[in-house]
Structure 1
Amino acid sequence: MNQYDFVVVGSGPAGRRAAIQAAKLEKKVLVIEKGTRVGGVSVHTGTIPSKTLRETALNLTGWRERGFYGRSYRVKQEINADDLRRRLLITLDHEVEVLEHQFSRNRVQQMRGTARFLDAHTIEVSKEDGEVLQVQAKSVLLAVGTRPFKPSHIPFDGSSIIDSDEILEIKELPRSMIVIGAGVIGIEYATIFSALDTVVTVVEPRDTMLDFIDKEIVEDFTYQLRDRNMKLIFGQTVEGVEKVDGKCRVTLKNGRVLTAEMVLFAAGRVGATDTLNLEAAGLEADNRGRLKVNPDTFQTSVPNIYAAGDVVGFPSLASTSMEQGRIAARHAVGAPAHEPPQFFPYGIYAVPEISTCGLTEEEVIQRAIPYETGIAHFRETSRGHIMGLDSGMLKMIFSLKTRRLLGVHIVGEGATELVHIGQAVLNLKGTVEYFVENTFNYPTLAEAYKIAGLDAWNRMGELKVEKVERRAAE
């Protein structure tokens, strides 16, 4: 009764997609989830909550209308934590309901409890009521996700010195906040609370932030943050955090002391693998609890055990995790599986959004590829005028030799939606001519692709003439 073709540990994006894929291939599938509800980190503390919080903040503050009505404009004058939590709970309930229905209609079995290996094919599940069961699995997928990294020298108290999970449970919106860590999670929450008119200071030990994003996009993004009075402190490590007279005090290595009502520590995450008893299965995690896998199949060093999602490291996106889970499931049950796509979009749901796909300008230079760029500012589009946008830009990079699109990078309103046009052209090996010769709906922000395409086309100079003459001769 407890023998399965495919056992999935964790029900986040990678786990859910893998389980449903295996079930559609008529395999007997079990999902083990230690939480009280399915969905994993993505649904309960990560992707969905943070994006819901962002959308609620932008709606209630009237952020998107301030270009017309001024920085003091607000839809709701007094915004509190309950306003944010109310919409969050409705969204989470809907997400869980949809996921439960997907498991039910695909006949995916579920089990609540904590999983640990006894050997590579045997998993022991400890339930909350004390019952302990054993299940046998032909193949296993570990999709356990990550949890916030919490160093011992930070005195977390769950209320004013918190991690990125605890921020969803705060009772009051702080007037001031110090965010330690300028990675994706730290920057997302820093900019969301800044939009809520919290005075935000970001501290980052590196000299830059978001190093995997095109430098020009990061420079534009940084300018926008500083323009709205966010303080960004780079190249400084935190020596200590303490509570003094009801305030949080952060001491930096250079001796500088910062104070705020709340401190958010968002400097990294660790894989939730410590309770799995990996040694019994012949596996070993790295110092951040992550597992090494074959990037094409997501198979670990133990042939019947796979891992996908945040637990395998970068890019740690819900979207890529889903594909990783699906590919792993197909490979695990012996079905044909395609290789992961070469280019995938990366979305950062900050305020403003950033999204990117393909090569950055720095990567193109490193590879010694002759190139040209095209840029469009959202204020150049009629849709941008209608929306009152005074910021936002789209940048495309093209090869001078093949004229193919090499990368698309966007910062501004709707960036995570707009990027998919560039993603399609990238993966279909399209050229600058696509953007120059095709018609885009008017007025839309997507028109920025036409503007940026023409900008690059014009900068290519005589090369474009040679291209036209060659096509005419053909």
Structure 2
Amino acid sequence: MIHYDFIVVGSGPAGRRGAIQAAKLGKRVLVIEKGTRVGGVSVHTGTIPSKTLRETALNLTGWRERGFYGRSYRVKQEISAEDLRRRLLITLDHEVEVLEHQFARNRVQHMRGKATFIDRHTLEVEKADGEVVRVHGNAILLAVGTRPHRPSHIPFDGKSVLDSDELLDIRELPRSMVVIGAGVIGIEYATIFSALDTAVTVVEPRNSMLDFIDKEIVEDFSYQLRDRNMKLLFGQTAEKVEREENGKARVFLQNGRVLSADMVLFAAGRVGATDTLNLAAAGLEADNRGRLKVNPETFQTDVPNIYAAGDVVGFPSLASTSMEQGRIASRHAVGAPYQDPPQYFPYGIYAVPEISTCGLTEEEVKQRGIPYECGIARFRETSRGHIMGLDNGMLKMIFSLKTRRLLGVHIVGEGATELVHIGQAVLNLKGTVEYFVENTFNYPTLAEAYKIAGLDAWNRMGEIERPAQQQQTAAKSA
């Protein structure tokens, strides 16, 4: 049996960041990955592939130029699934090479195989060649990620009825598609295929989508989707899915409506990939979705030497937050100082158009009884927006009337996931509306929308006399 200071199961964002952090602290680290290559779900079926597919679709369709040249404008007239796959494979190869180099540079050992617990410190690893080895770790981090939820009544075949993992291997682009589930993954793929001129219908049993996003942003987003002829069927449940002899599929809704399409994407949730770990041997138990309960500050499970991070612990299930969770868990596990998870982190939805948000929504501000004011900027109001041909897109900021501090920033439109970081910094530094009013932004840029939205809120809030200390500081600066 080989002994390690820190063993990581899974090499996704949480696993790799946790492993490298422990190695940098001088610990002997092993990463166990059951996939054929390192990277986990994020690299091979999740974050990187979906974002690469999005970028490829926008480039080949000429989506960003249609504001000038019309909806019929296309960079490539006939786009095939192979066109999408070619760029995807190049990107994935690069990501794997970078990760393997990081492991080698930091002397992180890597083992390919399927891990199961023998006890709280011991794992048995069945390698790809059939060899079985046992490894012992002072601390263990479970970063196994998730896989698509596949109900038994859905007739998955990888062709006409697919989950989100199988979607990356399609051989031809569908002319029509039904997406079951309006969560982040379902909406991202629905809008990407809509940009590829596939006729898309989204079926969602709830009466809305993306409930954690500011409602005004969701309303603007929904309008943009419907404006390009996407069908959004809220409050309707898909009771049955059938494959047809002609290769198509039908979706039967509870209200009697029947939808027929070339392809059905089932994207109604994911489950933690914990069922093969033999958690009971380590004294652990997952919930009904395969997720593990952890201390939200240290990511320690109920078993003190075992940690969990990333999608397997549930919301927010972001690559960015997973990395930070893995790092915090690693430092705590090896006895190094650690900081609490950040209060405000950005949430990015890589749909077409993008959505990104940080801080409180307007609904949350109301629930807390905070007197507030909003400032809004439309991208078409900026010179950069005109240059880019943007007709849509908006930035919304929420400020406290009492402290004038920024409470939340919410963006829908081109570049939203990049723009949000300005608002994130001001939030974490407890900045006020005056920051946006008094500072200069590059011109012309979309970031200028912060100035416009700041002035919008400032005009509504009214100018107040600055505290004496601020006045003295301003006088010295002058």
TM range (shorter): over 0.9
Partner deviation per Cα, 1:444-463 (whole Å, 9 max, x = no partner): 000000000000000113xx
> What is the DSSP-based 3-state SS (H/G/I as helix, E as strand, rest coil) of the residue aligned with 1:130?
coil
Q: Show CA shifts across 1:150-191 (max 9, x none).
A: 000100001110000000000000000000000000000000
Asked if 1:249 is matched to 2:263, the reply is no
- CA shift digits 1:340-360 (9 cap, x unpaired): 000000000000000000000
- Alignment correspondent of 2:168: 168
Equivalent residue for 1:22? 22
Letter in 2 for 1:20: I
Q: Which residue of 1 is the match for residue 294 of structure 2?
A: 293
Aligned partners of 1:135 and 1:96: how far apart in 2?
A: 25
Q: How does 1:419-434 map to 2 (within 5 A)?
A: 419-434=420-435
The SS at the match of 2:330 is helix
Superposed displacement of residue 243, structure 1: 1.4
Deviation digits for residues 255-293 of structure 1 (CA, Å, limit 9, x no counterpart): 010010000000000000000000000000000000000
Question: In structure 1, what is the equivalent of residue 451 of structure 2?
Answer: 450
What is the alpha-carbon distance in structure 1 between the residues aligned to residue 472 and residue 313 of structure 2?
Answer: 51
The residue that corresponds to 2:279 in the other structure is 278
Please tell me whether residue 354 in structure 1 is matched to residue 329 in structure 2. Answer: no
Mapped to 1, the partners of 2:51 and 2:459 lie a distance apart of 38
Question: Shift of residue 245 of structure 1?
Answer: 3.5
Residue 95, structure 1, aligned to residue 110, structure 2: no
Q: For residues 386 and 133 of structure 1, what CA distance do their matches in structure 2 show?
A: 60
Distance in 2, Cα, partners of 1:472 & 1:198? 58
1:441 aligned residue: 442
Amino acid at match of 2:136: Q
Aligned to 1:62: 62
How does 1:13-412 map onto structure 2 within 5 Å?
13-246=13-246, 247-412=248-413
Q: Quick one: which amino acid aligns to residue 18 of structure 1?
A: G
Alignment partners' CA distance in 2, 1:324 and 1:46: 18
* Alpha-carbon distance in structure 1 between the residues aligned to 2:465 and 2:156: 64
Cα offset, 1:465, TM superposition: 3.6
Alpha-carbon distance in structure 1 between the residues aligned to 2:469 and 2:141: 53
Q: Secondary structure at the match of 1:36?
A: coil
TM-score (norm 1): 0.98
1:263 maps to amino acid: V
Letter in 2 for 1:68: F
d(CA) in 1 for partners of 2:173 and 2:464?
58
How far is 1:129 from its partner? 1.2
Secondary structure in 2 matching 1:189: helix
Report the CA distance shift for 1:468/1:134 in structure 2 as closer, same or farther (over 3 A): closer
CA distance in 2, matches of 1:249, 1:467: 64
**Separation in structure 2 between the aligned mates of residue 248 and residue 184 of structure 1, nearest angstrom:** 23
Structure 1 CA distance for aligned equivalents of residues 472 and 420 of structure 2: 34
Structure-1 separation of matches of 2:182 and 2:469: 49
Separation in 2, partners of 1:160, 1:285: 32
Distance 1:252 1:159 in 2: 21
Uncovered stretches (5+) of structure 1, i.e. residues with no partner: none
Cα 1:63/1:22, change in 2 over 3 Å: same
Determine the C-alpha separation between the residues in 2 that align with 1:162 and 1:352: 24
Alignment partners' CA distance in 2, 1:48 and 1:473: 50
Deviation at 1:469, TM superposition (A): 9.2
CA distance in 1, matches of 2:63, 2:301: 46
Task: Give, in whole Å, the separation in 2 of the partners of 1:472 and 1:249.
Answer: 68
CA displacement at 1:60 relative to structure 2: 0.2
Q: Distance in 1 between matches of 2:189 and 2:239?
A: 22
CA–CA distance in 2 between the matches of 1:327 and 1:468? 38
- What residue is the counterpart of 1:9 in the other structure? 9
SS of alignment partner, residue 240 of structure 2: strand
CA distances 1:93-137 after superposition (whole Å, capped 9, x unpaired): 000000000000000000000000000000000012111000000
Displacement after TM superposition at 1:52 (Å): 0.1
The 1:112/1:363 distance shift into structure 2, 3 A limit, reads same
- Structure 2 unaligned spans of 5+: 474-478
In 1, Cα distance between equivalents of 2:23 and 2:244: 55
**Which residue of structure 1 aligns with residue 476 of structure 2?**
none
Cα distance in 2 for partners of 1:245, 1:155 equals 13
TM-fit CA distance, 1:466: 3.8
Is the partner of 1:50 in helix, strand or coil? helix
Q: Which amino acid letter does the alignment assign opposite residue 199 of structure 1?
A: A
Cα displacement (A) at 1:472: 4.9
Shift in Å at residue 473 of structure 1? 8.4
TM-score, length-scaled by structure 2: 0.98
Q: SS where residue 324 of structure 2 aligns?
A: helix
What is the alpha-carbon distance in structure 2 between the residues aligned to residue 160 and residue 317 of structure 1? 29
Q: d(CA) in 2 for partners of 1:206 and 1:438?
A: 42
- SS of equivalent to 2:453: helix
SS in 2 for 1:339: coil
Aligned equivalents of 2:64 and 2:101: distance in 1?
Answer: 35
Instruction: Quote the Cα distance in structure 1 between the aligned partners of 2:375 and 2:255.
Output: 41
Amino acid at match of 1:430: G
How many Å separate the matches in 2 of 1:36 and 1:472? 62
**Which whole-Å CA distance do the structure 1 matches of 2:160 and 2:92 have between them?**
24
User: 1:471 deviation in Å?
Assistant: 5.5
- The alignment's C-alpha RMSD in Å is 1.1
Q: Residues 381 and 113 (structure 1 numbering): CA distance in 2 closer, same or farther, change over 3 Å? A: same
SS of 1:113's partner is strand
Q: Distance in 2 between matches of 1:470 and 1:290?
A: 50
Letter in 1 for 2:451: K
Work out the percentage of aligned pairs sharing the same amino acid.
85
Counterparts of 2:437 and 2:53 in 1: how far apart (Å)? 38
The structure 1 segments of at least 4 consecutive aligned residues displaced by more than 2 Å after TM superposition are 465-474
